[in-house]
Chain A
Amino acid sequence: AQRVTQPEKLLSVFKGAPVELKCNYSYSGSPELFWYVQYSRQRLQLLLRHISRESIKGFTADLNKGETSFHLKKPFAQEEDSAMYYCALSGNRETSYDKVIFGPGTSLSVIP
């Protein structure tokens, strides 16, 4: 079954410290992986997706198919990074899988 897990409900780090939000998935095929973020009083929005291989707001995420992981990383956390982060997956273009599955989310708190 398709599933996304995020083992940490809450994660607190000090400003300037590295941060890693963990995400593991199960999917029979080649998935598309995403990270969505929800800042306080703002809409849920896409942060980044693995096919773009880009860095957004200093965050990066590498898809590790062997470990079925897509951890989100940032070398130096900032206070404005405090938010709820959701890992998500969908099927790739070659599949008819037309849904997105979201993980339970990790609440990141950056301590000044």
Chain B
Amino acid sequence: DGGITQSPKYLFRKEGQNVTLSCEQNLNHDAMYWYRQDPGQGLRLIYYSQIVNDFQKGDIAEGYSVSREKKESFPLTVTSAQKNPTAFYLCASSSGHPFEQFFGPGTRLTVL
């Protein structure tokens, strides 16, 4: 089963801890994105990367960090600085210009 994968499916974290969400794709896409999905707010862009070793902040980057060391991988770290981290996180990829984004299954993060 190819495409874009995210792990884990569910993640629990204690307050004050950093946690890293995994996103991997085998579509040979250059661009990758991280979104946060909250009820009634749609998808909000956290970070995106158009090419390896480069990434840009999205609309809600505070409290998050990313890296793009490999084309296939775009992990997201939710730091303790994120005030309200409990949410559903979606990773996506696209080939160049974002005409069509391919989404992963998502990770649901709960802070206890």
Contact = CB atoms under 8 A, between A and B. Distances in A.
A86 interface: yes
B42 A105 contact: yes
Contacts of B50: 98
A45 B103 contact: yes
Given A98-B31, A98-B48, A32 B42 contact: no
A43 B40 contact: no
Contacts of A32: 99
Interface string B69-112: 00000000000000000000010100001111111111000000
Chain B, interface size category, equals 20 to 34
Interface string A78-111: 0000000010001001000011111111000000
Contact of B48 (A46, A86, A99, A104): A99
A93 B97 contact: yes
A74 interface: no
B42 A104 contact: yes
For the residues of B in contact with A, the DSSP-based class is strand
A44 interface: yes
A93 B96 CA distance: 10
Contacts of B106: 43
B97 A98 contact: yes
Nearest to B96: A98
Contacts of B98: 90, 98-100
A43 B100 contact: no
Interface in B24-41: 31, 33, 35, 40-41
Which 8 pairs show the lowest CB-CB distances between chains A and B? A104-B42, A102-B43, A44-B103, A102-B42, A100-B98, A43-B103, A46-B100, A105-B42
Interface of B: 31, 33, 35, 40-45, 48, 50, 58, 90, 92, 97-106
Interface of A: 4, 6, 9, 32, 34, 36, 43-46, 49, 51, 86, 90, 93, 98-105
